[in-house]
Amino acid sequence: MSVLSGKKILLGISGGIAAYKTAHLVRLFIKAGAHIQVIMTPASKDFITPLTLSTLSKNQVYSDFFNEDDKEAMWNNHVDLALWADLFIIAPATANTMSKMANGNCDNLLIATYLSAKCPVYFAPAMDLDMYKHPSTLSSFSKLKQFGNTIIPAESGELASGLSGEGRMAEPENIVSFLENDLLSKLPLKGKKILITAGPTYEAIDPVRFIGNHSSGKMGYDIAEEAANKGAEVILVSGPSNQVLKDNSIQLIKVVSAQEMYDACHANFENVDVAIAAAAVADYRPKNVASQKIKKQETNLTIELEKTQDILATLGEKKRNQFLIGFALETENEIENAIGKIKKKNLDLIVLNSLNDKGAGFGHSTNKVTFIDKNFKELPMDLKSKEAVAQDIVNIIIKHYEK
């Protein structure tokens, strides 16, 4: 999944021949999962029609402060457009438009919106080679960078004048790649590798029956999605679950039993920076698994159980520099039991949730947790969606690496 997925992108188009490429650029943004609004300068409409861009973006295209053909229409509020955007891309950015941006010459809707923008702004210059190298253009580049804007460098090639050289607007595919790489490089968990477990484990009794629990896996899956959104490379080891990952960059390892989860975790643990054990792993399994379905008997059936290997405790024994996070689902003496697990399993953080709290635990879209760190400092949280709890957990990881 592209890092642009779900992003609200405002595309500003100024009046240069390269404006014809913006139809393809809009298509690429849509394909990446972004939401697009387009603002055109009046001059840009000589090169590509608003109808084309409106059709491709599936949104109204803005060019003027108000629609002269509709006297009843509201004005086009540049402040609302600016505040809507997560990213503002101006492509093509002509010498004229860049000069206005650099000097605050606000004579059209695009510049008014730019001057109101609080989101990151990128601009892709497009002009002839002598214009590109002119001191006034270089001055605009310098000012716009000083203002915190990011230039998408022009490319070399054949220009509209017939000359060949630098000044050609970056190709749409290259603009999208530039944005993705730039955003990824700024994500707080870029370069970190995170191992996460999720869901239940099923311990076979016979080919038909198993011992399991009610864990849906949602908490672990939400943590995986949030960590990936923050730039981490994520390995998700999941027991049986109906949850579906939205981010295809996450490496999903499907397992069934506690032993399979143990093996997958230990195979990957040495190479990760963070491990989060959110799975509800079975503590016991049948000592002997019947090769055929056990038939119903007149008398009671006794199944001898044996302990499974404690995945989190064994990871704690192997831990070197990893940030290790465990979960504790308790019904009594919650804090004391959670602190005991921190000590016993060599954890850096435990996420405690109690079945006594309404809306917490298995089978809910919400959770109410208390974070306890290795120094036994407690941070109780309100009832939240599991997505919000996942954000809290990932934010703790980010703060850990900011120290």
Give me the mean pLDDT over the 268-295 stretch.
95
Strands 378-380 and 369-373, by their bridges, are antiparallel
213 among known catalytic residues: yes
Six-digit token pair at 12? 């500003």
What is the model's pLDDT at position 342? 96
What is the model's pLDDT at position 312? 96
Q: Name residue 251's beta-bridge partners.
A: 235
State the catalytic residue, choosing from 59, 77, 96, 213: 213
Cα–Cα distance for residue pair 394/227, rounded to 1 Å: 6
Measured CA to CA in angstroms, residue 239 lies from 110, 144, 227 at distances of 51, 51, 19
**Which of 269, 246, 247 lies closest to 197, judged by CA?**
269
Contact 88, 10 (CB under 8 A): yes
What is the model's pLDDT at position 26? 97
Give me the mean pLDDT over the 242-269 stretch.
95
Whether pLDDT at 71 is above 70: no
Q: Report residue 77's pLDDT band, with 50, 70 and 90 as the boundaries.
A: confident
Q: Report residue 329's pLDDT band, with 50, 70 and 90 as the boundaries.
A: confident
Six-digit token pair at 137? 């253009």
Whether pLDDT at 52 is above 70: yes
Six-digit token pair at 16? 């240069």
Nearest 5°: phi and psi at 318?
A: -85, -10
Give me the mean pLDDT over the 286-312 stretch.
90
Of 49-53, 60-64, 233-237, 320-324, the range with the lowest mean pLDDT is 60-64
The residue to which tokens 């954890």 are assigned: 347
Give percent of the chain with pLDDT exceeding 90. Answer: 79
Measured CA to CA in angstroms, residue 347 lies from 140, 147, 312, 374 at distances of 53, 44, 9, 6
| Mean pLDDT over each residue of the chain, to the nearest integer | 92
What is the model's pLDDT at position 1? 72
Q: Name residue 234's beta-bridge partners.
A: 194
What is the model's pLDDT at position 136? 96
Whether pLDDT at 69 is above 70: no
Q: What is the pLDDT of residues 196-224, one digit of tens each?
A: 999 999 999 999 999 999 899 999 999 99
Q: What is the pLDDT of residues 9-20, one digit of tens each?
A: 999 999 999 999
C-alpha triplet 314, 317, 322: angle, nearest 5°: 100
Q: What is the pLDDT of residues 131-178, one digit of tens each?
A: 999 999 999 999 999 999 999 999 998 888 888 888 999 999 999 999
Contact 374, 347 (CB under 8 A): yes
Q: What is the pLDDT of residues 341-399, one digit of tens each?
A: 999 999 999 999 866 666 555 556 788 899 999 999 999 998 889 999 999 999 999 99
Q: Report residue 118's pLDDT band, with 50, 70 and 90 as the boundaries.
A: very high
Return the higher-pLDDT residue of 329 and 145.
145
What is the model's pLDDT at position 357? 63
What is the model's pLDDT at position 363? 58
Whether pLDDT at 324 is above 70: yes
Give me the mean pLDDT over the 239-260 stretch.
94
Cα–Cα distance for residue pair 267/173, rounded to 1 Å: 38
Give me the mean pLDDT over the 316-325 stretch.
96
Domains with residue ranges and CATH for the chain? 8-185 (3.40.50.1950), 193-290+303-402 (3.40.50.10300)
Whether pLDDT at 76 is above 90: no
What is the model's pLDDT at position 380? 92
Report which residue type is found at 323. Answer: F
Give me the mean pLDDT over the 102-109 stretch.
94
Contact 135, 119 (CB under 8 A): no
